[in-house]
Amino acid sequence: MPIIAPSLLACNFLQLEAECKMINSSEADWYHLDVMDGRFVPNISFGLPVIEQIHTVATKPLDVHLMIVEPEKYLEDFKKAGADILTVHAEVCHHLHRTVQHIRQLGMKAGVALNPHTPIDCLEYIIDQIDLVCVMSVNPGFGGQKFIPSTYTKVKQLRKMIDDRGLAVDIEIDGGVTQDNASEILKAGATVLVAGNTVFKSDNPLEVIKQLKHSLHIL
């Protein structure tokens, strides 16, 4: 079954504790937390204090996605805040291998995110050092965008790269995931689905999470 990671960027922040408890009681596997700095992406979201509070309530791993410049400066801070998985963008890390090594040395799983225009070739010499590749299926910065269809080809290529090397690296899809395209995304080779508006803007988030979790059964 796929890993389902609801994105709290789309939740009701006035009801943050209740939203976290909903995820705890659901069939979701991870929390997906998007950290934006207004520099790497044209939006500002939330940071360490909010993640620290989520960590006090969450009973599932925190999958923290850093959409920020100079992420290497804050790795230890996010570990202390409660991150279990820490993902940085290939586009901003001049010393990506060093950053990934540091994340793993701190005891977190290491992820690398790729923007829609970034080819998977940049992972060739680091794919065996990471736990997760986050494929952006929308342009990062805002929720509610439509899925970019070329993502399917990218995921298939990435799945081949991982399988050819006999690695156990998760492929996470972030952006525009819905009940309508989840099965196709998984068929292409993804293992983790991030869903924001699809979950939190629905009338029944628990049911939507359940449907996403069981998407493979409707392939």
Give the contacts of 2 (CB within 8 A, at least 6 positions apart). 182, 186, 190, 191, 192, 193, 212, 213, 215, 216
Distance between CA atoms of 177 and 183, rounded to whole angstroms?
10
Sign of CA dihedral 73, 77, 78, 84: positive
Tell me the residue type at 162: I
Concerning whether 34 is annotated as a catalytic residue, the answer is yes
Per the structure block, which two tokens stand in for 178? Answer: 């819905």
Concerning whether 121 is annotated as a catalytic residue, the answer is no
Which of these is catalytic: 29, 63, 131, 174? 174
Residue 11 CB coordination number (10 Å): 21
Distance between CA atoms of 77 and 55, rounded to whole angstroms?
13
> Which residues are marked as active site?
34, 174
